[in-house]
Amino acid sequence: MSPNPNPNPNLNPNPDPNPNPTPNPTQDNCVRGAVMCCSILYPVLAARLLALYRVIEFNDLWMLEPDLRLSSDDAAPWQMAGLPFTFLLVIGLPCAALAILRRTARPGALDKARPAEKVRLEARYLRRYGQLYQMYEPHCWWWEMVEIVRKLLLIAILGYFRAGSAEQLWTGVLISLISILLLTYFSPFKDARVDAVSWASQTATLLTLLGGAALTGSQALPLPLTLSPAPALDPAPAPAPFPALA
């Protein structure tokens, strides 16, 4: 019978020569920069892509709103070709961000790791993805997703309504009101001053949209069908005669 080459089964026969690898600042900075660029550019790119699927009625024809030279039938093949890329950006990017947050910021995500490994992973995740969760309370590790959805709705989805219409303004009011209620209920930021600033900025957005909706509603009021006659003016008094010269 051949001898057991590994008499102690608890020992790894091929131990990792570098169990605690040295952090790579270049790699961490590249990942951090990519995450920052995606956070900044996502609402704008999503709005531009979704605009390619907006059509308007023009001279009894449905035309592509970004380019009125193309009808909806002419643009349909290109829209179908770009649909996977639009889905990948508009839906896939938030899903990827949620998966990253669930793995890095969710309380208890690293409980199964050894203490030393847990400390190393926490430091690496903080360097790479800390901008997505380090300003929020631990129980609100997912709050960045709320911000992403709010920006997407305000920038991209509202573009499907006619610009300046009452429907667009009141939809924006509803989105802003829901955001303020969620912000007030959860208070997600670690710093209470940041909560106050965020609440003030979203309240200012809500008041701006309410003012626009009120102005649009006042301009849409119908004019009266009949006009009341103007009041009669009293005749001007006759000028006094000049006194007779002596």
Average pLDDT over residues 60-72: 83
Tokens standing for residue 67: 């380019």
Each residue of 112-167: pLDDT tens digit? 889 999 999 999 999 999 999 999 999 999 999 999 999 888 887 787 777 778 88
Local structure of 62: helix, strand or coil: strand
pLDDT at 71 over 50: yes
**In residues, how long is the chain?**
246
Mean pLDDT, the chain, integer: 82
pTM listed for this prediction: 0.74
Selection from 29-33, 159-163, 222-226 with the highest mean pLDDT: 29-33
- Which residues on neighbouring strands pair with residue 57, listed in sequence order? 62
Task: Tell me the pLDDT band of 97, cut-offs 50, 70 and 90.
Answer: very high
C-alpha–C-alpha distance, residues 151 and 158, integer Å:
10
pLDDT band at residue 98 using 50, 70 and 90 as cut-offs: very high
Q: What is the pLDDT of residue 19?
A: 52
φ, ψ for residue 57, nearest 5 deg:
-85, 125
Question: At 137, which amino acid appears?
Answer: E
Greater pLDDT, 13 or 98: 98
Q: Which two tokens stand for residue 79?
A: 């829209």
Query: Token digits for 7?
Result: 């008499």
pLDDT of residue 156: 79
**Banded pLDDT at 21 (limits 50, 70, 90):** low
- With a pLDDT cut of 70, the percent of the chain lying above it is 79
Tell me what the mean pLDDT of segment 238-244 comes to: 54
Say which range, 161-165, 210-214, 215-219, has the weakest mean pLDDT.
215-219
Q: Whole-angstrom Cα distance, residue 51 to residue 41?
A: 15
Mean pLDDT of 217-240: 56
Q: What is the pLDDT of residues 158-211, one digit of tens each?
A: 877 777 788 888 898 999 999 999 999 999 999 999 999 999 999 999 999 898
Give the containing element (helix H, strand E) for 171: helix 166-186
pLDDT of residue 17: 46
Pairwise CA distance, residues 64 & 48, whole Å: 13
Mean pLDDT for 220-232 is: 54
DSSP string over 208-231: HHHHHHHHHHHHTSPPPSS-PPPP
- Burial readout 168-181 (b: 16 or more C-beta within 10 A, e: otherwise): bbbbbbebbeebbe
Name the E strands within 16-125.
55-58, 61-64, 67-71
